[in-house]
């Protein structure tokens, strides 16, 4: 959940409870953001527990066997000039989404996840219109940094999330959230309403 103090936009709320996924409306009128709408239709990051990295209680790398997920090592890849271990992730259900996890070579800390999806253009009403159709591309990039120890756990205290949407008409929208954790609390009582699927 991202709570935002802004006029009309209230942040993002995603709920995963058992086999059900829910994406809440984020605007005053109850509609979802482009990011929320995307995750509602392409819920693999929520369903697999990957979104949020190790901050997610459903982080799949804690127990790959029970999830029937597959991770394929892709070797060292340079990201912003730094070598990182890259691994492709495939959940038990087939999907068109490509998911790549990146880890530091020396500590093996998870520092980035990239999700990408290409949705092919539909058929136009004529050959000319069909030829002009472009695919729609989506990309989510999560970055984790500034690792700190709290209660025996080493967790990232800085989280950056970018959602990019390239539409068929050539318009590109980029939305970015950047957050810093100031404290970590364990065993906090949570309101059960936080996990209700509406």
Q: How confident is the model at residue 132 (pLDDT cuts 50, 70, 90)?
A: low
Residue of higher predicted confidence among 71 and 183 = 71
Average of pLDDT values for 37-60?
Answer: 89
Looking at the domain assignment, is residue 158 inside a domain?
yes
> What pLDDT does 124 receive?
54
Looking at the domain assignment, is residue 198 inside a domain?
no
Residue of higher predicted confidence among 102 and 133 = 102
Residue 76 sits in which domain range? 2-183
Whole-model pTM?
0.85
- Three-state SS annotation for 70-139: EEEEEEEEEECCEEEEEEEEECCCCCCCEEEEEECCCCCCEEEEEEEEEECCCCCCCHHHHHHCCCEEEE
Q: How confident is the model at residue 73 (pLDDT cuts 50, 70, 90)?
A: very high
The domain total for the chain is: 1
> What pLDDT does 98 receive?
95
Looking at the domain assignment, is residue 50 inside a domain?
yes
């Amino acid at each position: 959940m991202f709570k935002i103090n802004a006029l009309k936009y209230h942040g993002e709320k995603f709920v995963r409870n058992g086999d059900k996924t829910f994406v809440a409306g984020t605007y005053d009128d109850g509609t979802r953001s482009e990011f929320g709408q995307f995750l509602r239709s392409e819920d693999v990051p929520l369903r697999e527990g990957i979104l949020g990295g190790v901050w997610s209680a459903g982080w799949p790398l804690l127990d790959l066997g029970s999830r029937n997920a597959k991770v394929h090592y892709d070797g060292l890849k340079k990201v912003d000039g730094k070598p990182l271990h890259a691994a492709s992730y495939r959940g038990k259900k087939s999907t068109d989404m490509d998911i790549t996890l990146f880890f530091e070579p020396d500590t093996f800390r998870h520092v980035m996840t990239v999700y990408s999806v290409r949705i092919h253009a539909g058929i136009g009403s004529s050959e000319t219109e069909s030829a002009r159709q472009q695919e729609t591309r989506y990309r989510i990039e999560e970055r984790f940094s500034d690792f700190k120890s709290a209660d025996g756990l080493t967790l990232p205290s800085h989280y950056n999330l970018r959602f990019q949407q390239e539409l068929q008409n050539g318009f590109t929208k980029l939305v970015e959230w950047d957050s810093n954790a100031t404290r970590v609390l364990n065993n906090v009582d949570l309101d059960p309403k936080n996990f209700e699927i509406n």
